[in-house]
Structure 1
């Protein structure tokens, strides 16, 4: 992603932030105490409610600041951007306010709710390609052809300064000491703008970025001391699913960010639930990222009575995702344990196992006859914390029951819990792979056409999780002498995939 960046001095950034044109469209969002979450983690945690902005995200700040600084001729020529999310809505609102034409190029799998939101602001929406990179390439081409100004979502000093106004508001709203501020990181525009302001005025405040474990471009870049290009990124927190951070955002983060924390999807789901319980508002996954980071940091550092601020950065949630988030929230809070337990296939053993579980609340229970000696049980139980899970496993093992903790096993949580009982002894040479399919017509046929007709599909499981990509589990019978050809076919298909053949959950319940 090439961008001609005019480097801005850090002193100039202070002036740019203080004089940013954001309040024609943005509100000064409230800074609110989260009382229930604060009591639970033993620290005062405040939420900067950017989810309450007119487009339900902070992104309108940077977009409007950039566009308000354009000349009359540039506005007349219009603006263009590539985005499937909150930046698109920010640009559309800014264009509506400034009376200029906006073209938003979006990947074809973009949910209709986001397309409709852009059109409702009067912008033109163009759907093209399967990925953001496809949309970006087309948008840049259109900008060159039409003379429209490309509004970058993060790697532009005016955009960075617009996002930095959030830090200005926080320091004005909370004059008492602040220990740390947690900021979600995608391309880096938000953390760059906030960090340069905070560190120049209050250098003692820790500035901590938060990224998903599977979309950690900034963390890897800071570690390598140069921008790193990720080969693929996870799409659950789609608002921060960026393969490479910006040039200028990386420079500022290198100077002013204290640390980047990585969190998993379950922790993000738990944070969404935490915010809902305190505010009755539902954040999108990237919007709850900083809350998950604040919780992890608080537990890791074992601090008490600290003042922590987390940016609730957005609430453009697809309704269909709520099912998945509700399922995973308890796991993220470590309040549910997922176990695979082997019990004797003898009369009375099932009752004995249930007796060992005692009064614990069972959230899921799957059983299937395995053979004349053993039976495998897939069970979910509510627990107060992670240590209780560990103690439960130890107790079962002490009672001579082989127990495997699957709480952190992604395939078990996504697929196997819905497929227990699928042993097929007659299936030979089976390989098991997990895929991410684009949610668009023809994706399945494209996959099937890439495979040799000699390879039989012996297992196929799909479940819609409300994301732009579907998670699919596939068992395929491939003779050993054709494995190289098989792997070449998968690489040519270019769908993200993971080999799960050696996954212990598969070995116990499906192979």
Structure 2
């Protein structure tokens, strides 16, 4: 039996065992996206699993393998700030074993509470460290000292095998392999599992957040490398270093098949899926759908599967998502205006606004001179081209301004 056949057999065995715990997730044809991109688009809804992500699959398979073996310890340990923690907690409850889950102190309370709900008395949550690296190091120290089993989120053969069950279900639900699969990438466990399962019978696109392109960096270097900086907005896929085992599976992919999705564009996709389809996706869960615009020319007329990998979205983040989406779409801008300190100046400025221009922010920052003041202004409008008209009117009226919408430093302090 070849390695590919052996993995295929083991992935199918893992998928069969999972049916004792939870049903398969739906594979749904999406009419809106299919018409927009002129192909046959299906969504593999991992956001509808019992923990609203695919992560419980790898946790199940890794724990199953340990418990089916000769292990004397039934203590399981993991470090996670989100979906992996919830998957491990759910499976600790199912298998009747005890788990210690380390989470950063900065983890949102909603995620901590959901993890506790899934695990109940079968888990203990320990909040350690401001940064994940500190949390991970402490979890590994504890696990080694107590002789427990450490459950890695992606860099583990049994975990990858469990994630491959997503591919098993796709094949069974479609009656075969699709033409193309768009895979979200964080640590690489899901993408490695599905690529290993389908092999060359399918073409792939791999998409990771622009602020965490660990796969792109690894493919370019020929080995996993650690990114110096990672944007944590897409928290389910913002990984500084792709897993060593997943990279062994992915190292020969064509670099042209790896795409970086801008975080603000992902926000546009999240809102579109929510408003048009009623589908709640977390940023990482929207990656595959977001990348459709990058591969539009390649997928026309084909059968395409997008894996919506997670739906653990905290709605307290919705204002931020809307804000970022508006800025990316060009319908919201921030600028600093030099306002004359004289009667009628404000009224004169207001007259430059068009019928669809709304003031979303107006804040005096300081008087930069006796006769002038700096004002932070946020404007929302109905179409990006409206700003060309507005700025022309400001120039004509003699109002000096500076567009700071894309200035990361000023935006961080002022917006």
The alignment's TM-score, normalised by the length of structure 1, stands at 0.69
**Corresponding residue number in structure 1 for 2:141:** 141
Where in structure 2 are the equivalents of 1:421-460 lying within 5 Å? none
Where in structure 2 are the equivalents of 1:59-208 lying within 5 Å? 59-70=55-66, 71=68, 73-74=70-71, 76-120=73-117, 121=119, 122-174=122-174, 178=178, 180-200=180-200, 202-203=201-202, 205=203, 207-208=204-205
Give the drift of 1:57. 0.7
C-alpha distance in 1, partners of 2:244/2:251?
A: 11
Please give the per-residue CA displacement for 1:34-92, whole angstroms capped at 9, x wherever unaligned: 44455555555432211110111100011101111123542743221111211111112
SS in 2 for 1:366: strand
Range moving further from structure 2, 88-97 or 164-173: 164-173
C-alpha distance in 1, partners of 2:224/2:287?
A: 22
C-alpha distance in 2, partners of 1:193/1:16?
A: 11
Q: 1:290 to 1:407 in 2, by over 3 A?
A: farther
**Corresponding residue number in structure 1 for 2:333:** 338
Give the drift of 1:321. 1.5
C-alpha distance in 2, partners of 1:79/1:413?
A: 43
Whether 1:271 aligns to 2:269 is yes
List alignment gaps of at least 5 residues for structure 2.
none
C-alpha distance in 2, partners of 1:304/1:382?
A: 33
**Corresponding residue number in structure 2 for 1:283:** 281
SS in 1 for 2:187: coil
Q: 1:39 to 1:338 in 2, by over 3 A?
A: farther
**Corresponding residue number in structure 2 for 1:423:** none
Q: 1:166 to 1:357 in 2, by over 3 A?
A: same
List alignment gaps of at least 5 residues for structure 1.
1-7, 418-511
User: Which one of the candidate residues 13, 16, 20 is aligned to 2:10?
Assistant: 16
Q: 1:229 to 1:401 in 2, by over 3 A?
A: same
Where in structure 2 are the equivalents of 1:97-496 lying within 5 Å? 97-120=94-117, 121=119, 122-174=122-174, 178=178, 180-200=180-200, 202-203=201-202, 205=203, 207-256=204-253, 259-298=257-296, 301=297, 307-332=303-328, 334-340=329-335, 345=340, 357-362=353-358, 364-366=360-362, 368=364, 372=371, 378-384=377-383, 388=385, 391-392=388-389, 395=392, 399=396, 404-417=402-415
Higher RCO (CA < 8 A, seq sep 6+): 2
C-alpha distance in 1, partners of 2:268/2:134?
A: 33
Please give the per-residue CA displacement for 1:170-200, whole angstroms capped at 9, x wherever unaligned: 2333359855422221111011111222334
Query: Do 2:352 and 2:390's aligned partners in 1 also have CA atoms closer than 8 Å?
Result: no
Q: 1:365 to 1:142 in 2, by over 3 A?
A: closer
Please give the per-residue CA displacement for 1:412-467, whole angstroms capped at 9, x wherever unaligned: 554424xxxxxxxxxxxxxxxxxxxxxxxxxxxxxxxxxxxxxxxxxxxxxxxxxx
Where in structure 2 are the equivalents of 1:28-39 lying within 5 Å? 28-39=24-35
Q: 1:180 to 1:380 in 2, by over 3 A?
A: farther
Cα RMSD (Å) = 3.2
Give the drift of 1:384. 3.8
Comparing both structures, which one devotes a greater share of its residues to helix?
Answer: 2
Query: Do 2:73 and 2:147's aligned partners in 1 also have CA atoms closer than 8 Å?
Result: no
Query: Do 1:80 and 1:143's aligned partners in 2 also have CA atoms closer than 8 Å?
Result: yes
C-alpha distance in 1, partners of 2:196/2:79?
A: 26
Query: Do 2:77 and 2:149's aligned partners in 1 also have CA atoms closer than 8 Å?
Result: yes
Q: 1:113 to 1:75 in 2, by over 3 A?
A: farther
Give the drift of 1:347. 7.8
Q: 1:249 to 1:355 in 2, by over 3 A?
A: same
C-alpha distance in 2, partners of 1:250/1:174?
A: 28
C-alpha distance in 2, partners of 1:223/1:348?
A: 59
Query: Do 1:51 and 1:312's aligned partners in 2 also have CA atoms closer than 8 Å?
Result: yes
